Amino acid sequence: MSEWIDFAVYATQSVVLLGLLPRQLLQFRAPAILDRNADWAAAHPDAMQRIERSRRFEKALRVCAIVSIGVLLAVRLGHVDGGLAARDAPSWEVLKDVHGALMGVAVLGILLYMLGWMGWLRRTVPLAARRSATLKPRLAGDHLSRPWRVATDIVAFGHLALWLVLPAAGIGGGAEYWGHFASIAAVTVLAAAVSYLVPMRRPGYADRVLGEAYRRLELRIAYLLRLGPLTTGAVHLGDAFGFDLARAGHLSLVLLVCAGALAFLTLKPSRPHGNTPPGHAALAGTPRPPL
């Protein structure tokens, strides 16, 4: 497999997570304030306009995406060895580790920004004295068809059954084999439990801002992630059959993350918020929102 394929996959993830996803996140800032307290938004039009116009966070992450792709390209062309000479590791693995380090720093920055934003929101915008709840039943069948759910169950647990059958055929076995099986079985059961609990989750802020589309997407992603253990399992089973699938397995997980992020990009606020609700002039001394 050409290492340009690895580079293309990692570059795609950088574009999706650092170039496209931040833009999607920023469009929910105004709806978050309106959901928390529409009267506050009406009384502070200047603050709302600053929030709508601010793009520094988005631009910073675009720079991170460009830098990340540039570093990966330099590693791929051999201008930066990424510690290859010292580690005596294959170049594709060095490319993987460099990308993982870069994305780790970027994702940490995104999480810190989100924590800062939520902290500003709690400190600055008082919670309105109104909350509503729905008594509508929440069922998985409302968002995902039975054939898809049954097929996912068959594939996920059939994968575990394969692990149990192979030692009887003289393939695999031993402490390391069963250790891998235990970890994969635990993740499979945990993912199944998450997909079971998603429809029963109490509605929150995201449901109010995004509507029914959010829970539908959340459930679909939960079922998609149930297929994640198959990738890890294929890598370990490949070892049992004498095939090295670590590289392909890692790239598959990266593409799986990209697929989930791209699905999130389809969400839009369930109510328009382009115009700030009419109200009084902004009060002097309003704390400035984060970037």
Q: Report pLDDT digits (tens) over 147-172.
A: 888 999 999 999 999 989 988 888 87
In a shared domain, residues 143 and 239 = yes
255 found inside a domain: no
Residues 90 and 146 in one domain: no
Give the pTM.
0.71
Q: Give the pLDDT band of residue 5 (cuts 50, 70, 90).
A: very high
Over the stretch 14-31, which tens digit does the pLDDT of each residue have? 999 998 888 887 877 888
Q: Do 1 and 118 fall within a single domain?
A: yes
Say whether both 50 and 123 belong to one domain.
Answer: yes
In this predicted model, what pLDDT tens digit does every residue of 190-212 receive, in sequence order? 988 888 888 877 777 777 777 77
Phi and psi torsions of 39, nearest 5°: -65, -40
pLDDT of residue 1: 64
Confirm whether 278 is domain-assigned.
no
The region that residue 28 occupies, defined by phi over 0 for left and psi between -120 and 50 for alpha, beta otherwise, is alpha
Mean pLDDT of 239-247: 78
Number of domains in the chain: 2
Tell me the residue range of the domain where 160 lies: 138-243
- Does 113 share its domain with 225? no
pLDDT of residue 272: 43
Domain's final residue, options 80, 108, 127: 127
Residues 6+ apart with CB under 8 A from 165: none
Asked if residue 226 lies in contact with residue 191, where contact means CB atoms within 8 angstroms, the answer is yes
| Same domain membership, residue 102 and residue 7 | yes
Q: At which of 80, 97, 127 does a domain end?
A: 127
**Same-domain status, 121 and 6:** yes
C-alpha span between 228 and 239 (Å, rounded): 18
61 in the same domain as 111: yes
The pLDDT, as a whole number, for residue 199 is 81
Q: Specify whether 216 is located in the same domain as 159.
A: yes
Last residue of a domain, one of 127, 146, 165: 127
Based on the fold, state whether residues 179 and 233 are members of the same structural domain: yes
pLDDT tens for each residue of 71-114:
999 988 887 765 544 456 778 888 999 999 999 998 898 889 88
Q: Can you give the pLDDT at residue 237?
A: 81
**% of the chain beyond a pLDDT of 70:** 85
Same domain as 73, residue 157: no
Query: Which of the two residues, 210 and 40, has the higher pLDDT score?
Result: 40
User: Looking at the domain assignment, is residue 273 inside a domain?
Assistant: no
For residue 100, being part of any structural domain is answered with: yes
Is residue 52 located within the same domain as residue 168?
no
